[in-house]
Amino acid sequence: MSDEIIRIASRGSPLALAQANLARDALAQAHGWERTALDQICPIRSFQTTGDRVQERPLAELGGKGLFAKEIEDALLQDEADIAIHSMKDLPAVQPPGLALVSVLEREDPHDVFLGHRVQKFSELSSRARVGTSSVRRTAQALRARPDLKIVPLRGNVQTRLDKLSAGEADGIFLARAGLARLDLLPTNCEKLSYENWLPALCQGAIGLEIRSDDEKARRLVTNIDHTGSHLAVSVERGFLAALDGSCRTPISGLALIQNGALNFRGEVLSLDGQSSWGASRELALHDTVGEDTFRRAHALGAGAAKDIRAAAGVNLPKY
Q: Let me know the angle formed at the C-alpha of 111 by 194 and 298, rounded to the nearest 5 degrees.
A: 105
User: Does the annotation mark 52 as catalytic?
Assistant: no
E-assigned strand segments in 42-189: 44-47, 83-87, 99-104, 112-116, 130-132, 150-152, 172-176
- How many CB atoms within 10 Å of residue 251? 26
Give the end-to-end CA distance of the chain in Å, rounded to a whole number. 42
CB contact at 8 A, 301 and 284: yes
**Region label for 145, one of left (φ > 0), alpha (ψ between -120 and 50) or beta (otherwise):** alpha
Question: Which residues are bridge partners to 267 per DSSP?
Answer: 254, 280
Question: Of 25, 82, 90, 109, which one is the catalytic site residue?
Answer: 90
d(CA 298, CA 238): 9
φ, ψ of residue 220 to 5 degrees: the values are -60, -40
Residues annotated as catalytic are: 90
